[in-house]
Amino acid sequence: MLKQVLYEATNAAAAIMKEYANKNFTISNKEGINNLVTEVDHKSEEVIFKIIKENFPDHYILSEESGALIQDSKYKWIIDPIDGTVNYANRIPICCVSIGIEISGKIQMGAVFNPFLNEFFSAEKDKGATLNDASIHVSNTQSVKQSCLVTGFPYTYLDMENGPLEVFSKLIRKGVPVRRLGSAAMDLCWVAAGRFDGFYEHKLNAWDSAAGYLIVEEAGGKVTDLKGNYYNPYQPGIIATNGIIHQQLLDVVKGGDV
């Protein structure tokens, strides 16, 4: 029942993204330059809330645009109604709906759907990860030097030691391809599917990574924070890899050489 409602909400939100993709919609700015929110982010969120509330009126909901509906429940839905809003607003089809479900403080289920590529990723704790119902697995690449990586940059520049541009520059100077898709949930799912060998980002919110991180782990990958600790979506940094290159990439992100 929980999974059914998760899929229903994810599909309904993705249908709204698709419906509005060729229409005019309003775009406004949140704090910072180019931190956008569109009318469609709100519409997507509305339909997700409606479906959850109809089925589970007492569940806790945390969602990017509406904040938290705090309720005393062991179930918590963590929602990004559109991950990759800047892409969506520019009609770039790399964006998705991302919904994770936490039970008693642990993410147990996740779904990420990009309706433009028709790719529906999902995972359930200890039951594996799938792409359009077919099982997926992380890559087998053995080193960072042989890897194809992906990263993301926060809306506001992070001026810190070993910050996003420093790590990016170090990898690029050594000839390691590092892509920037503009959707953290897609980045994570594409690591899970073995398209990328690793992903790192310095500053994410829980709704960006809640579903994708479980999908990577269930696809056999490894996910930690930027210090190598067990991943917690309520802190900002993330490294998600095929597991084999994890320690190497972690060392690079912490300031080591490629």
CB of 111 to ligand IPD, least distance (A): 16
- 105 Cβ neighbours under 8 A, 6+ residues apart: none
Q: Please choose, from the candidates 89, 45, 84, 40, the residue with its C-alpha nearest in 3D space to the C-alpha of residue 63.
A: 45
Q: Which does 218 bind (CB under 5 to 8 A by kind): ligand IPD, Ca ion, none?
A: none
CB of 184 to ligand IPD, least distance (A): 3
Q: Please choose, from the candidates 220, 52, 9, 200, the residue with its C-alpha nearest in 3D space to the C-alpha of residue 123.
A: 220
CB of 171 to Ca ion, least distance (A): 23
Q: Which of residues 115-154 bind ligand IPD (CB under 6 A)?
A: 152-154
Q: Which of residues 40-99 bind ligand IPD (CB under 6 A)?
A: 80, 83-85
In a 10 Å sphere around its CB, with 0-12 CB exposed, 13-18 middle and 19+ buried, how is residue 148 labelled?
Answer: middle
Q: List the x/- string, 54-73, binding to Ca ion by CB under 5 A.
A: ----------x---------
CA torsion 202-124-245-197 (nearest 10°) is -80
Of 20-28, 133-141, 201-209, 241-249, the window that binds ligand IPD (rule: CB under 6 A) is 201-209
CB of 203 to ligand IPD, least distance (A): 6
Q: Which of residues 205-224 bind Ca ion (CB under 5 A)?
A: 208
CB of 217 to Ca ion, least distance (A): 19
CB of 128 to ligand IPD, least distance (A): 24
- Strand-strand pairing, 75-83 and 96-103: antiparallel
Q: Which does 97 bind (CB under 5 to 8 A by kind): ligand IPD, Ca ion, none?
A: none
CB of 62 to ligand IPD, least distance (A): 14
Is residue 115 within 8 Å of residue 14, measured between CB atoms? yes
Q: List the x/- string, 171-190, binding to ligand IPD by CB under 6 A.
A: -----------xxx------
Question: Is 85 or 141 the residue whose CB approaches Ca ion more closely?
Answer: 85
Question: Is 128 or 154 the residue whose CB approaches ligand IPD more closely?
Answer: 154
Residue 236 sits in the site that holds ligand IPD (CB under 6 A): no
Count of positions on this chain that bind ligand IPD (CB under 6 A): 13
Distance between CA atoms of residues 134 and 27, nearest Å = 36
Binding site for ligand IPD (CB under 6 A): 80, 83-85, 152-154, 182-184, 201, 204, 208
Binding site for Ca ion (CB under 5 A): 64, 80, 82-83, 85, 208
